[in-house]
Structure 1
Amino acid sequence: MPKLSNFVYCEQTSPEENAIQSLNPLNVITIESAPGRFSFSVVFSLVGFNPHEEHDGYIVFADPNGKTVIETERFTLEKEDHDKKNPILTGVSMGVEFNNVLLEMPGLFRTDLYFDNEKIGEFVIPVVTREGVLRNE
């Protein structure tokens, strides 16, 4: 069963040779007012999957009411045909950018990660308005 070894919300990603750099990690998304638009990225690592089988996955970003804001296209990890590799040592890091996302309300938004049609992770991030922060709401 595959596992997530890390997950981070960030302002953007920068591909490096054989790696992905997450820039300006976020623990909250602040928009001017609601509704508002915001661009951000997520970076995550998957481990413990069989490299000799093809796998697919996708991400769902949902609002505080559970309504899907974004569902990504499926990504595919193609099988590897070289030497046998221990699945515990198999891993991949990925970055996904979400551009100009409409956030209709403040609250606790959720990102669900699916791998081979099974939900393997759920991560939340608060969305607040600048006005609410200034009023301490």
Structure 2
Amino acid sequence: MEQRVSLITLAVRDLERSAAFYEVLGWTRVQSPDGVIAFDLLGQTLGLYPREDLADELGIPVDAIGGFSGVTLAHNVRNKEDVAPLIERAIEAGGRPLKTAQDVFWGGFHGYFADPDGHVWEIAWNPFSPLSVAGAFRWNGYEGE
């Protein structure tokens, strides 16, 4: 298995409401089959899929999907000053604040919100991992490349 994540799928209660949330954050949908909404990212895709349909596909009860799973999704930004406004934008679009933007013990700056279905997002600036020109993230950064 190659070291990559190709597709992140989020189970959502209201497909159009969730899509609208991500569109307010500035993301653009791509053409996808009925019943799923996709957003292409740098090197991967975020898919939104109705909770009931995903549970059926997995062969599990729908109530088995839910609650905090221990997984967070992160979006790194280029500048410290970009963190708080992006979290505010998510909250204004219907997200729930979890942790206000603040300095982190390791030298970065971050905050957390949950999307309308409770999926936890971190918005972070990491001075030790500068993004590539295209915006790609790598643990030790792209500085000098």
The normalised TM-score by structure 2 is 0.27
**Larger fraction in strand:** 1
Find the structure with the greater CA-based Rg.
1
**Larger fraction in helix:** 2
